């Protein structure tokens, strides 16, 4: 009898353990290259990067490509539905972001959900789109997707440690290498001017250009004098602009009723 009970319990546990992978499989892979824009090695490299950043930041970073938008009127609507139907997102708010590329339509769209709506403001999503558009236009999709993943990582870290990138605090562009020789030349010119000024001060004896310099001190008596107004100094302070309502993230509702943010554009 005891052996039979033990066997039943073991069978139940075995069935339960076998069911666990099916729950994990409900979330699709973070890369869905339906348009076959990437090689197998590029897919593997990108998926590794997407998985690593997503797990570390606890926010899904995903990419999807399609041949065309089909029955969808906008790339944003298509991106929202792909995100919702793929089971993406961490936690109850389904925190995550998806980049959609529609090849024939030459459309890109970014869909954000949950905490990602806070992380990727309208200005931030536009910024990411602008940064990946050149590579997309050149057909270098692997580079574009890799740049997208890296920017997502940077944006999430910024939002967690300080405040999200937005209109008033976008990422600073790295200094171009061309400025190094320019800075050296400018420094050299400034040094020449400084040396010239110091050299001129060493010449204490020279011809005077005006007769006043040769007058004997005290030999000239001024009988009349007056004040002459030359100029005045006016300090102006700019009136602060009312930026209330600017920045942040605008949202909309997908066909499934989920709230999304994001941006879209052409390449």
Q: What is the DSSP string of 7-21?
A: HHHHHHHHHHHHHHH
Region 69-97: what's the mean pLDDT? 97
Q: How many CA atoms lie within 13 A of 160 on its CB side?
A: 12
DSSP state for residue 213 in the 8-state scheme:
G
- Name the nearest CA neighbour of 148 among 252, 54, 19: 54
Under a CB-based contact definition with an 8 Å cutoff, are residues 35 and 65 in contact? yes
pLDDT at position 190: 75
pLDDT in tens, 39-82: 999 999 999 999 999 999 999 999 999 999 999 999 999 999 99
Contact present, 30 and 50 (Cβ < 8 Å):
yes
In a domain, 141, yes or no: yes
Q: What is the pLDDT of residues 216-257, one digit of tens each?
A: 666 666 666 666 656 666 666 655 555 555 689 999 999 999
> For position 58, which CATH number holds?
3.10.310.50
At residue 63, the 3 state secondary structure works out as strand
Identify whether the C-beta of residue 105 lies closer than 8 Å to the C-beta of residue 70. no
The per-residue pLDDT for 247 is: 84
pLDDT in the model for residue 8: 42
Specify the residue for token string 């899904």.
Answer: 60
Beta-carbon contacts of 38 under 8 Å, excluding residues fewer than 6 positions away, are 46, 141, 142, 145
Asked if 97 contacts 116 with a C-beta cutoff of 8 angstroms, the reply is yes
Is residue 21 one of the residues assigned to a domain?
A: no
**Within a domain: 241:** no
Pick the more confident residue, 243 or 127.
127
Provide the residue range defining the domain that includes 111.
Answer: 29-171+249-262
Q: Which two tokens stand for residue 219?
A: 């030999």
Residue 226, domain member (yes or no): no
What is the spatial distance between Cα 64 and Cα 18, in angstroms, rounded to a whole number? 30
Q: For residues 40 and 18, what is the distance between their CA atoms, to the nearest angstrom?
A: 30
CB-CB contact of 35 with 3 (8 Å): no
Per-residue pLDDT at 45:
98
Span 147-185, pLDDT tens digits: 999 999 999 999 999 999 999 888 876 555 564 565 556
Identify whether 231 is part of a domain. Answer: no
Total tally of structural domains belonging to the chain: 1
Residue 33 lies in a domain: yes
Do the domain assignments include residue 39?
A: yes
Q: Three-state SS for 60?
A: strand
Higher pLDDT, 83 or 178: 83
pLDDT tens digit sequence for 9-43? 434 333 433 333 333 336 799 999 999 999 999 99
Q: If residue 266 lies in a helix (H) or strand (E), which one and from where to where?
A: strand 259-266
Lookup: tokens for 112: 């954000």
Is 193 within the bounds of a domain? Answer: no
Q: Which residues contact 28 (CB under 8 A, 6 or more apart)?
A: 86, 87, 88
Percent of the chain with pLDDT over 90: 60
């Amino acid at each position: 009898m005891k052996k039979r009970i033990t066997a039943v319990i073991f069978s139940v546990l075995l069935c339960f353990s076998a069911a666990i992978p099916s729950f994990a499989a409900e979330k699709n892979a973070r890369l869905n290259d339906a348009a076959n824009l990437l090689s197998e090695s590029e897919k593997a490299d990108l998926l590794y990067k997407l998985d690593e950043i997503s797990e570390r930041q606890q926010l899904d970073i995903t990419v999807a490509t399609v041949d065309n938008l089909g029955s969808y009127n906008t790339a944003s609507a298509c991106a929202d539905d792909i995100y919702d139907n793929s089971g993406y997102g961490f936690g109850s708010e389904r925190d995550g972001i998806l980049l959609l590329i529609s090849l024939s339509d030459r459309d890109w769209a970014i869909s954000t959900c949950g905490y990602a709506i806070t992380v990727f403001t309208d200005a931030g999503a536009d910024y990411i789109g602008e940064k990946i558009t050149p590579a997309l236009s050149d057909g270098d999709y692997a580079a574009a997707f890799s740049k997208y993943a890296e920017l997502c990582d940077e944006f999430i870290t910024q939002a967690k440690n300080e405040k999200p990138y937005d209109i008033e605090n976008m990422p600073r562009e790295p200094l171009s290498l061309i400025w190094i020789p320019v800075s050296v030349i400018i420094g050299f010119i400034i040094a020449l001017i400084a040396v010239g000024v110091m050299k001129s001060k060493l010449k204490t004896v020279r011809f005077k250009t005006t007769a006043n310099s040769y007058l004997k001190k005290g030999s000239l008596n001024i009988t009349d004098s007056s004040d002459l107004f030359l100029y005045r100094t006016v300090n102006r302070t700019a009136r602060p602009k009312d930026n209330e309502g600017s920045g942040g993230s605008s949202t909309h509702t997908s066909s499934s009723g989920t709230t999304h943010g994001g941006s879209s554009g052409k390449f």
